[in-house]
Amino acid sequence: MTLLGVRDLVTAYGSVEALHGVSFHVDEGEIVALLGANGAGKTTALRTISGLLRPRSGEVRFAGDRIDTRPAHEIVRLGLTQVPEGRWIFTLMTVDENLRLGAYAEPRVPREALDRVFALFPRLAERRGQLAGTLSGGEQQMLAMARALMTRPRLLLLDEPSMGLAPVLVRQIFHTIAEINREGTTVLLVEQNANTALRLARRAYVLENGRIVLEGPGAELARNEAVRRAYLGVGARPRGREGARERPPAP
Amino acid sequence: MQIALQQLVNGLTVGAFYALIALGYTMVYGIIRLINFAHGDIYAVGAFLGLSVYGLLAFFRVGDPVLATLVALVVSMGCTGLLGVLLYRVAYRPLLRARLSILISAIGGSLTLEYGLFLVYSPSFLVYPHLFGRAGLTAGDIQISWLQILIFASSIVLMAALYLMVHRTKIGMAMRALAINQDAARLMGVDVSRVIALTFFLGSVLAAFAGVLTGLYYSQISFLMGFLIGLKAFTAAVLGGIGNIPGAVLGGFLLGILESLAAGYFSSRWKDVVAFAILIVILVVRPRGLLGERVVERM
């Protein structure tokens, strides 16, 4: 079943169009990757879906309903949550307060959501009382994801979750994404780190200058010559074996 | 010493007014980075509405001063709070992304309110009812009126309530969150516009409270009364560190005390000169205010 359907989406900043009619979909239960170079329009696409930006035309449907005219705070309540690029955690507030803000729409903080989040990110449980701005980069990424999970989303939009993290942490974050997906949350993943993203994703789309130029199963795109040249840094040495070692558990 | 103590008492009273008004400036600046120039005039509107309520109550022969004051405060605070929300909706919300235009809009709001009061009420001073007289406590040569005690104590209670609301409730948590990053708050399901409206409401309620009490304290009000006190309260907010709630309270009381001491030791004509000269010195030494501006890190 299609959970998210994006059709002919056009988004502009003032007179500059960033998306020129983008269409794609995400089915319930999938991990879908959205790849592309800097400035291709990946973040713009996510921010339009989550309601932070208004599209000029086209439509976004979530679980069958049009959401492209609804404000961001209502879209979250429908079960679609974005973890923004750069994390945007509330630096001057504690870890605990950040998590409670995730449950803002609910009358009280749901116990099981909190338990789940601490099971996924035990580090955060140890730092509940600490100011979020004092966490390390990896911990801040965990907090951003944990805070989003507190909204109990059906669909999680992840914008560059691995940005600026050491390889060990990147592996850990991708591991967690697979885990979150296995527990039933659908994921739309935007990544620079195309190699890892393609291994994790069932399907992927490639954005170029505001248009989808390629789509297909993750594994297939990983072998695609154009993708390899553009995003995977092809050449130096065969990556197959090394890739197999890094592969996170399949969703 | 006597002069110092007496002026300290007066300074704490005036400082309570500055602090109450400074809170409105600092809360609005803290969440949308706007210097709400109309805030001083919101305070004036609060004073005038209070006067109208006293008039009505006198007409219906409600003589009890405490009851009359309670009603005047509640009605004025409620109506002025709604006026603050209206100001936000009409003059500021459409311009949130236009930094300069919104400032001009704030000046426009200020003049509209001032000359609205001029037209609706009066171009000259109006007299507030004398309900509480000068009775009070006397210790040696130092006099403290009951009204001064009431002003100081009730202001402290309101400020404490505001502080608890911002730090202990969910809506307060949302206010702090959107002060740090509005879009992130939106992504958590916070209706940002509603929280901003609430901030205007609270700031205006505190200003109206100060308005009615200044009317009682100075016994006269005028349509321009918000101008200078607005500037001073804004100064107090900057002095404490704009965007910082305890800072606004500290700045307000400090300014009130400095002014009163200057009036006591020099003359009341010199009070602004002395007080503001000291303020300039403090700001030169600590440009971000005494408690520090809440510098927002966007990461």
Which helix or strand (DSSP H or E) is residue B2 part of? helix B2-32
In this structure, what token pair is assigned to residue A176?
């967690």
Which helix or strand (DSSP H or E) is residue B221 part of? strand B220-221
Q: Do A71 and B173 touch (CB under 8 A)?
A: no
- Confidence check: pLDDT of B266 > 60: yes
Cβ contacts (< 8 Å) between A52 and chain B: which residues? Answer: 183, 186-187
3-class SS letters over B242-279: CCCHHHHHHHHHHHHHHHHHHHHHCCCCCHHHHHHHHH
Give domain limits for chain A: 2-84+153-246
What's the pLDDT score for residue A93? 95
Cβ contacts (< 8 Å) between B185 and chain A: which residues? Answer: 101
Q: Do A90 and B181 touch (CB under 8 A)?
A: yes
**Which own/partner pairs from B142-145 qualify as long-range (CB within 8 Å, at least 24 positions apart)?**
B142/B2, B142/B5, B142/B6, B142/B9, B143/B6, B143/B9, B144/B9
In this structure, what token pair is assigned to residue A124?
């955060």
Beta strands in chain A (DSSP E): 2-13, 16-27, 31-36, 57-62, 65-66, 80-83, 155-159, 186-191, 203-208, 211-217
Say if A134 is an interface residue toward chain B (CB within 8 Å).
no
Q: pLDDT tens digits, residue range B18-33? A: 999 999 999 999 999 9
What's the pLDDT score for residue A234? 55
Q: pLDDT tens digits, residue range B6-15? A: 999 999 999 9
Q: pLDDT tens digits, residue range B129-167? A: 988 877 888 888 889 999 999 999 999 999 999 999 999
- The percentage of chain B sitting over the pLDDT mark of 70, rounded to a whole number, equals 98
B2-131+144-285 fold = ABC transporter involved in vitamin B12 uptake, BtuC (1.10.3470)
Cβ contacts (< 8 Å) between A91 and chain B: which residues? Answer: 180, 296-297, 299
Q: Which of A78, A91, A104 has the most B C-beta neighbours within 10 Å, making it the best mutation to test the interface with B?
A: A104
CB B84 within 8 A of CB B204: yes
Q: pLDDT tens digits, residue range A96-108? A: 999 999 999 999 9
What's the pLDDT score for residue A236? 39
Confidence category of residue B268, pLDDT binned at 50, 70, 90: confident
Q: Do B181 and A87 touch (CB under 8 A)?
A: no
- Confidence check: pLDDT of B119 > 90: yes
What's the pLDDT score for residue B167? 93
Taking any CB pair shorter than 8 Å as contact, residues of chain B touching chain A are: 170, 173-174, 176-177, 180-181, 183-192, 294, 296-299
On average, the pLDDT of chain B sits at: 92
What's the pLDDT score for residue A178? 97
What's the pLDDT score for residue A232? 67
What's the pLDDT score for residue A59? 96
CATH H-level, domain A2-84+153-246: superfamily: P-loop containing nucleotide triphosphate hydrolases (3.40.50.300)
ipTM of the modeled complex: 0.88
The alpha carbon of residue B180 is apart from the nearest alpha carbon of chain A, in Å, by: 6
Cβ contacts (< 8 Å) between A140 and chain B: which residues? Answer: 299
Q: Do B186 and A72 touch (CB under 8 A)?
A: yes
Average pLDDT over residues B275-279: 84
C-alpha B215/C-alpha B126 separation (Å) is: 9
Q: Where on the phi/psi map is residue A135: left (φ > 0), alpha (ψ -120 to 50), or beta?
A: beta
Confidence category of residue B292, pLDDT binned at 50, 70, 90: confident
C-alpha A198/C-alpha B131 separation (Å) is: 77
Kindly give the parts of chain A with pLDDT less than 70. Answer: 232-251
C-alpha A153/C-alpha B151 separation (Å) is: 49
Q: Do A88 and B297 touch (CB under 8 A)?
A: no
C-alpha B167/C-alpha B172 separation (Å) is: 6
H helical segments located in B181-191: 182-187
In this structure, what token pair is assigned to residue B172?
């307060």
C-alpha A177/C-alpha A181 separation (Å) is: 6
